Chains A and B, each alone.
Chain A
Amino acid sequence: MSENVLCVEHVTMQFGGVVAVNDLSLEVNQGEIVALIGPNGAGKTTAFNCITGVYEPTNGKVDFMGAPMVENFPQGNMKKMYLGEHNGDYTRKLNPTPDRITRLGIARTFQNIRLFSALTVFENVLIAKHMRARQNFLSATFRLNWAEERRMRRETMELLERQGMTHLKDERAANLPYGIQRRLEIARALATEPKLLLLDEPAAGMNPQETQELTDFIRQIREEHNLSIFMIEHHMDLVMQISDRIYVLDFGKLIAEGTPSEVQNNQRVIDAYLGVADDAEN
Chain B
Amino acid sequence: MADLDPEIAKTQEERRKIEAELASLTSVNFDRDLYGGNDRDSYVTSIAPNDEEDSNLDATGSLVAQRLASYTAPKSILNDVARAHVEDDDGGFKPRQTIAEREGDYRNRRLNRVLSPDRVDPFAMGEKTPDPSVRTYNDHMRETAVQREREETMRLIAKKKKEAEEAAKEQKDSAPAASSKRRNRWDHAEEDGGGGKKAKASDSDWDVAESAPGIGKWDATPGRAGDATPSAGRRGRNRWDETPTPGRVTDSDATPGGGVTPGATPSGVTWDATPKGSATPTPKRQRSRWDETPATMGSATPMGGMTPTAAYTPGVTPFGGIDMATPTPSQLNLRGAMTPEQYNLARWEKDIEERNRPLSDEELDAMFPTEGYKVLDPPASYVPVRTPARKAMGTPTPMTTPGYVIPEEHRGQQFDVPQELPDGLPFMKPEDYQYFAALLNEENEEELSPDEQKERKIMKLLLKVKNGTPAQRKTALRQLTDKARELGAGPLFNKILPLLMQPTLEDQERHLLVKVIDRILYKLDELVRPFVHKILVVIEPLLIDEDYYARVEGREIISNLSKAAGLATMIAAMRPDIDNIDEYVRNTTARAFSVVASALGIPALLPFLKAVCQSKKSWQARHTGIKIVQQIAILIGCAVLPHLRSLVEIIEHGLSDENQKVRTITALSLAALAEAAAPYGIESFDSVLKPLWKGIRSHRGKVLAAFLKAIGFIIPLMDAIYASYYTKEVMVILIREFQSPDEEMKKIVLKVVKQCVSTEGVEPDYIRSDILPEFFKHFWVRRMALEKRNYKQLVETTVEIANKVGVADIVARVVEDLKDESEPYRRMVMETIDKVITNLGASDIDSRLEELLIDGILYAFQEQTTDDTNVMLNGFGAVVNGLGQRVKPYLPQICGTIKWRLNNKSAKVRQQAADLISRIAVVMKQCGEEQLMGHLGVVLYEYLGEEYPEVLGSILGALKAIVNVIGMTKMTPPIKDLLPRLTPILKNRHEKVQENCIDLVGRIADRGAEFVPAREWMRICFELLEMLKAHKKGIRRATVNTFGYIAKAIGPQDVLATLLNNLKVQERQNRVCTTVAIAIVAETCSPFTVLPALMNEYRVPELNVQNGVLKSLSFLFEYIGEMGKDYIYAVTPLLEDALMDRDLVHRQTAASAVKHMALGVAGLGCEDALVHLLNFIWPNIFETSPHVINAVMEAIEGMRVALGAAVILNYCLQGLFHPARKVREVYWKIYNSLYIGAQDTLVAAYPVLEDEQNNVYSRPELTMFV
A and B pair up? no
Q: Which residues of A line the B interface, CB within 8 A?
A: none
